[in-house]
Structure 1
Amino acid sequence: MGKIAAAALGLLVLVAVLGGAGAGGMLSGFGSSGTQPSASALTDIPSDYLALYMDAATTCPRLDWSVLAAVGKTESDHGRSALPGVHSGTNDAGARGPMQFLLPTFQSVIAKHPPPQGGATPPSPYNAHDAIYTAAAYLCDSGARDGRNLTDAIYAYNHADWYVSDVLTQAQAYASGAGFGADATPTAAALQAINYAQGQLGLPYEWGGNGPSTGDAGFDCSGLTRAAYTAAGISLPRTAQAQYDAGPRVPAGQQLKPGDLVFYGNPGGAIHHVGLYTGGGQMIDAPRPGKTIRIEPYRYQGDDYAGATRPFKLTTRSIG
C-alpha cells in the first residue's frame, strides 16, 4: 500500500474509532472548512493530527483546516520536531508544545474557550488535542472568524511577514488544489510570480520604483506586479491602468485564482492600484507611500475593487 493510500485509510479508521458526535464533527470539516486534503497533506500530516485540524477548524466559522494545519507544520512539523519546547521544556522564547504557545497566552485562551473533552486534565499546551483546539480559538479571536482578516490572525500568532507568507503557502499546498479550492489551481507562471512577490515582502513603497535590481529601494504597486510576472517570463505594461487594459479579464463573479491581478478604481475610467492575488482572499501589494510591501485582504470595507485579469504565457498551457 502506498503512503497516500495508507494515510487515507488511517484517517478513515480514525473516523470509525471516534464515532458519534466526534466523527460527525470531523466529517463536517470537509464541507464547512472549505477544502479536502491534497495528496501532499495526506502524505505529510499524521492521520490523528489531520483529524484534529479538521475538527478544530469547524469551531471557527470560515477558518479552513488547511490554515490550522499549516501553522502546525510551521511550528513543530505536526509534533515531530525534536527541538526544545515541543515535547517538554520551552524554546528560547518560552514557547511550548506542538503549536508553540507561550503559557500565559495558552491559559488566557482556554479560560475563554475551554477545549472539548479528549485532551489532558487540566488542558496542556503539550497535548496535541488541547493545543490544536486552542490554536483554532486564538486564530478565530485574532481575525479568522468569518474570514474577517486571516492575515492579521496569522500575524498575531507570529509577528513576522515571512511567517504569514509561509503559512499561507503551506495551506495552499495542503488544500485540494492550490488556492483554497479545486477550481482555483494556479498556472506555473502564477506560482513563479507569487514566489517572486513573496521575496519582496517588507520592502518600502516607492513611487515609480522598480525594485532593488534596478537601484530603487522598493516598488510601487504596478512596478511590483510587473517585476513579479517578468520573473515568470511574462511581460506586462508598466502602469496599473495599462495592466488592466492589457487583460485578459476575469469575468465578474468567476472565482479568482492565485496569480490573478486585482485592480482598484473605476473600470470605465481611471485605475489607480493593483495587487497580486495569492489565494484565500489575500493579495501581495505595495500599498502606498509610507507603507511596505505586505500581504493583506484583496477586499476591504469601502474599497473600489474594479476587477481582475489573468496573465498567461501564450506558449504554455495552464495547469489549472
Structure 2
Amino acid sequence: MNVSRPRVLLAVVVAGMLLLALVIMSPMMMTSIPSFIGNGGTQPDCTDDGTRVQEASDSAAADIPADYLELYREHGEKIGVQWSILAAVGKRETNHGRSDLPGVKSGTNSAGAAGPMQFLISTWGGKARIPMSSQFNGYASDGDGDGVGDVYNPADAILGAAKMLKRNGAPENVRGALFVYNRAWWYVDQVQEIAKGYAKSGEVEVPPEADDACDEPLVEAAPSDVVAKILAYALDQRGKPYVWGGTGPDSFDCSGIIFAAYRAAGLSIPRTTFTQWPFGVKIEQGKEEAGDLVFFNAGPGTSPNNPGHVGMVVSKGKMVEARCRLCGPIKVTTYGTRDTIVGFTRPLRNPDVIAQLEKLENA
C-alpha cells in the first residue's frame, strides 16, 4: 500500500513519544501497571506443598513467648493449620498461658475448661492428664514425647488444638473451625483479627490446594488423559459434604468419590474401601502418581491388612479425600505426615481396568 510521507512521519513521532513516556515513567507508576499485561494474567502460587510457615510479624515476636511461638509454628506445620490461628486462639484464651484466671495452670474454670488452650476436660478426654497408651475419646495429645497428654502442658495443648481445628475445617474453612472451638461469631472475628496481626503479611493465608485456580496445573501434570479426567472430576467435588455411603452428586464418602471419579472417566472399579484395597496393583510408597489410591488403617473394624479409609493422590504428598462427617467438606489434604498409611495401589493396572481402557480406545 502506498502511504504518504506526512503520515509516516506522524507515526514515527507518536511512537517516539510513547517510548519516551515509558522511559521516564516513575517507579511507582510502573508498579501500578496491572501484572496481567504481557504474562497472561496473575497466577496463584501453586508451588507450595501446604506446609509453608508464614513469617511472624514484629508484634508477634514481641507478644508471644519464644517457646510458645516455636510450638505454634511446629504443630501448625505438622498438622497442617495456620500457626497464626493457633497463636491467636492461645492469645484470646489465656494470653499464651500467662493468665492467672482459674483453670489455666490448674483446675478448671466455671465452664470446665483447662490449660493454656482452654479445652473442656470432657473434650480433652475426660481427665486432665491421660497416658497416651490408654483408650480415650478426645483431643488429648503428646506434643513433647513424654507419653502423657497433659492439658496444662503447652506442647500437648497446642498440638491438641491444632488437631481440633484441622478436624473441623482448617486450614481452608478457618471460620467454621473456630466456631466449633468456641461457638460465638464474635470470638471467631476476634481470633481472626489477632491472627492477621501475628502474620507478617497481615493476612491469614490458606494453602494453594484450597485455591480452585491451582487445579489446572494438577490436571495438566496428570500422567495420562484418563487420569486427567479422573482428577478433574474429583477436584470439582471439593466443598461438598461427607455422607457415609454417598456416591454423589451432592455428597460422598471416602471411597464413593473415588468410585464416581473413575466412573466419570468411563471406568468401573469397586465401590467400597474394603474392596478397592485388593483391586489395584500395589505401589511402593514414594513411587505413587496422581490417580493412585492411598489407604489408611482408620475407622472401626480396620487393621493394617484391612484399611478402612482411602484418598486419591493428586500430587506427591497430596490427596483429595472425603474424610468424615465432622472433618469438614471434601478437600485436598496432606497424607505424608499421617502415621496410619497402609499402602498405595494403582487401579489402572488391574486387568479388568486395562480391558476397559482398550475398549474405550477402540470405541
Q: TM-score, normalised by structure 1?
A: 0.45
Q: TM-score, normalised by structure 2?
A: 0.40
Instruction: Determine which structure has more spread, i.e. the larger CA radius of gyration.
Output: 2
